[in-house]
A and B are shown apart, each in its own frame.
Chain A
Amino acid sequence: MAMAVAPSRPFDYLESLPGTTFYKLYQQPSTALAIFRRMLPDLAKCFVMALLYLKDPLPATDLEAWVKAESLKERDNALSILGRLHILSNTVITDNVRAYKVTDPFASSLRQALTGAEKTQSFGVLWHISDGAAVSIAELDEYARRQWEGVLGYMVGTSGLGIQRDANLSKGVKQLLQAGHLVEIRDRRVEITQDGFAFVLQDVSTQVWHILMLYVESADAIGMSSVEVLSFVFLLSSLELGKAYDKKHLTSNQLRTLTDLADFGIVYQDSPDASHFYPTRLATTLTSDSSALSNPISGSLSGPSGTGSNKAGSGFIIVETNYRLYAYTSSPLQISLIALFTTLKYRFPNLITGKITRQSVRRAIEMGITADQIISYLATHAHPQMRKHNVSRSTSNQAGIPPSVLPPTVTDQIRLWQLERDRVKATPGFLFKDFVSLAEYEAPCRYAEEIGVLVWKSDRKRMFFVTRHEQVAAFLRSRK
């Protein structure tokens, strides 16, 4: 777990870009900083920093000697990631010695980010605002929460189980969700897909990245340069919460992006023509790990609305070993999410209780949710009391296995209920039968086994079942 920090989606997208795009991307120091922070494993960061201020390339043997022999796998992983992101390049110096060098736009941008002397306004330009008119952080959080829950509620509400929400989202948002296969239009009703379920059950940081990547991918379709959008996204990630930023240095494409992102609650502006905008917490924590995000944001997104950021973590779900579930929330979105896989019993102003039953889990699985998604959702939003209890339980556990936050009985049982659906496994294929004699049956059967397509055979009934029939049929014809 310590190695792969990057969520795979933005990383895969970046990998698919051609080298020239990277050249343009890395001109901005904020981009270089964001990619450095978020996409690289620890060892890769050490490599980059060590090579950043060297004048000459470092011979490859020196770099390899620096890493311990046991950590070969991590080293190769780090080097390959750096290569794929065009950060590290192989050169050859005198005497045909292979050497590594940090590629140039990235190196100079990162250096500028560290020392802070460049001409571009890559870190945003502050907008001076008088105190009375400034928007407070609490208001920004509230806005972000409302918008984000609106989007998620739109997705979940359409599955028919949750509470219906007013569909007052902009057309762009709906189009984006549809383009990303998170919802589907079927018979003029909007329904959530399996990808959509996976999406809503993830933690907020992954969700935000997912949406942003969808937006970047669809940028070309709308007529904007994806590079520009991407670098704007990275610029947003380096801004500070609670401060207003000037819009006059942004290009028209960036302004358009700003408006679209405001619909999601990632930035806030008073009106599309306002001269300044505010990034919300969703934007400023883009380059953080999800645990840093869970502290204030999910607290305000999923906790009882109206409370400020609570100090002690932000989970709100307690799962007992008798499968009962208590969730201290009153947000309709969270309630409908929980209702997807539990049977709710009581609802109080600040608490809902329910039970995880076989029927509820089977219902969820039929809709397309996997057991792993349910378990990771519960673990991400586990109440701090469960974490504390977990730590104190772990002291009496001598085997050295890191315990999970949820009771093991519950997690195992959810997986077992999922497995129940797999009792019958269907394999499509072709059945060969009605052979006249045993000898005639044996030969193609053996041939099918040799080429590896045989799935089942019965000598008594003289039938066999294969996945692919062409070769067996050709064999039979050739024998005749």
Chain B
Amino acid sequence: MTDKPILDDTSRAPVSQRGYVIEKSGMDDAIGGKVTINIDGKDIKIPLGTTILEAARSLGIRIPTLCYHEDLCVAGVCRICVVEVEGQRTLQAACGYPVTAPITVKTHTRRVRQARRHILDLMLSKHYGECYACFRNNNCELQTLAKEYGVDFFRFGHPEKPLYAVDRSSPSVIRDMNKCILCRRCVRTCIDLQEVGVLEGHGRGADVEIQTFMNKPLGEVICINCGQCINRCPTGALRANDPTDEVWAAIDNPDKHVVIQTAPSPRAAIGENFGLEPGTALTFELNTALRRCGFDRVFDTNFSADLTIIEEGTELLLRLYKALVEKDASIALPQFTSCSPGWVKFLEHFYPEYVPNLSSAKSPQQMFGALIKTYYAELNKIDPKDIVTVALMPCSAKKFECNRPEMCDSGYKDVDYGLTTRELAQMISETGIFLPDMPRSDFDDPFGTATGSGVIFGATGGVMEAALRSVYELVSGERIENIFEHADIIPVRGFQGVKYVELTLDKIGPVPDLLKPLVPNWDWLKGATVKLGVAHGTANAKRVMDDIKAGGKFSECHFIEFMACPGGCLGGGGQPIPTSPSIREARAKAIYAEDSVYEIRKSHENPAVLKVYNEFLREGPCGHKSHKLLHTSYIERGKYIS
């Protein structure tokens, strides 16, 4: 299983940067399927087409890399991974050399060491390294290599002062080209991994720069703010727009009531920032740490994730009812999820004609913000203007989302600041707290209780699984466990780029109280087959959208979950650096493990959610008040920018 998009003929990645993939015969054990090579005196038998780098790594031999990234196609441009291949006149880039014959490789000869040192020195001659003032200090691949290769002076010089103005135009991603070493990982991330294509090399020779279209500020181009480029930049050239100063100021202000909501993905990953292995969730340790940092209340975004399921699920049932029973041809189907702001902007730019298909339900972050400044404020008799809502998210696009002008339905800015996992880890370090050592504590009321359904929002397929658990039970009156053991809906899990699932509703039950005002009965759904899709990473989203446009099987779907980032939110652009398929896999495991221990694992059974419908959103899901506070609208942006 892989979450890389398949590079087919529709891919826009330049061939020069795709690397070489020899089709594996699938018969590695057959004669000729494998080849024995020798690296630094050690023999290893590898399948044909394995690169020298992969072979060396499996032998435990370290070959340094910079432009290489496990998630990206091979560029072979930084040349730091060069090695000697016996019989070859020149040194070969280990990352881009697929082995097709027995060869002898030496990875650290004098020639190799000299070349690597020169390449590093050349990079440093253009890299404005202000290491102590850089957010990547001690987590920078260039810095690490400089140490590893004993760089003790700048033999080809060093920039005395920055040459480029830092581009702070985007609410999500800041670009500081003074630190760029032109490895083009961001270019490949944008065009190949995500197929957005905002960044490209411009100019020739020493004048090459990574630029946007016409060198416009990032905030003015079709960047979807997914921040995947940040996660893959080896240096500090790309970073998220960091509001920690403002958050500290709010905490320090005694007149402000500062509340924070934490999403499941950061909790499953923040341990990495404190040196833990990927896949250690620190949800409850984090609660304690946040209180010690000075946050007045700590809430669980899972609460509003459950709320999202109810609103979005109800919206889906209403759309189906209108389309199937009332034969309303204006109803747009399939309904698309809207909780990933990167995906939403991607759709607004590239498929604006499908804006009506987006669920009008806000994302959990924004729903929570709107409720905190209304329901919570009323309940606790706090003037909403004194409330500052902070959201801990795995996401850089959430910063853009909370700044969308539509997101002020409470009468104030619903969510004031979006913090990434990295930024919060920084704040915690600043208070002298070592997060893993914190005692565990619970979330605050009135939103305290969460369900497992909210937790799994963090992984691709999670929203779909949560929605299925609830919709199935609300419609059939049966327990989902009758058809999926432990309520684990395995078919929608996993990292395949695109998933397609069908579910037949054999039984129908009575309409539950919550939905009685909306539909008279479920008779029209009896025996119906619900068709569902899941896609993560905008490259995969593009495949699905193009299939819908062409009238393929996804056009017959009823509901499709889209996530902008590979792996879903757990692979978000605000997560700890580095990222790789195995790191994302570990985070997913942590998330599903957390889900399995919850007593309540279905959104519609969340007592806090039901309480909100009883006390505040009295007209029920998709009622007037929830429409005002919990739903939103979108913009047909198009991809042409002025």
Whether chains A and B associate is no
